[in-house]
Amino acid sequence: MTATHDYAEQQRALYGAPLGERFGVVLKEYGISQRTLAATLGLSAPMLSQLASARRIKIGNPAVYARLVMLEERIQEEDKAAVLAEVRESDPVLTTQVRPTSSQNADDGTAPGHDRLASALASLGRPAELTSAAEAAGEGPLASVLRRAAELAEGRR
Neighbours of 8 (CB within 10 A): 19
Question: If one looks up domain 3-89 in CATH, what number appears?
Answer: 1.10.260
pLDDT, position 67 = 94
Three-state DSSP class for residue 140: coil
pTM of whole model > 0.85? no
Q: Convert 11-38 to b/e letters by CB count within 10 Å (16 or more is b).
A: bbebbeebbeebbeebeeebebebeebb
H/E stretch holding 53: none
| Residues with Cβ within 8 Å of residue 15, at least 6 apart in sequence | 22, 65
Following DSSP, what letter does each residue of 60-113 receive, concatenated? S-HHHHHHHHHHHHTTT-S-HHHHHHHHHH------SPPPP-TT--TTT-PPTT
131: closest CA among 141, 117, 145? 145
pLDDT, position 96 = 52
Three-state DSSP class for residue 42: coil
pLDDT, position 102 = 41
Q: For each of the chain's 157 residues, which pLDDT tens digit applies?
A: 566 679 999 999 999 999 999 999 999 999 999 999 999 999 999 999 999 999 999 998 889 999 999 999 999 999 999 999 999 999 886 555 544 444 444 444 455 567 777 877 887 778 888 888 888 888 888 888 888 888 888 877 6
Three-state DSSP class for residue 135: helix
Q: What residues does each domain of the chain span?
A: 3-89, 114-156
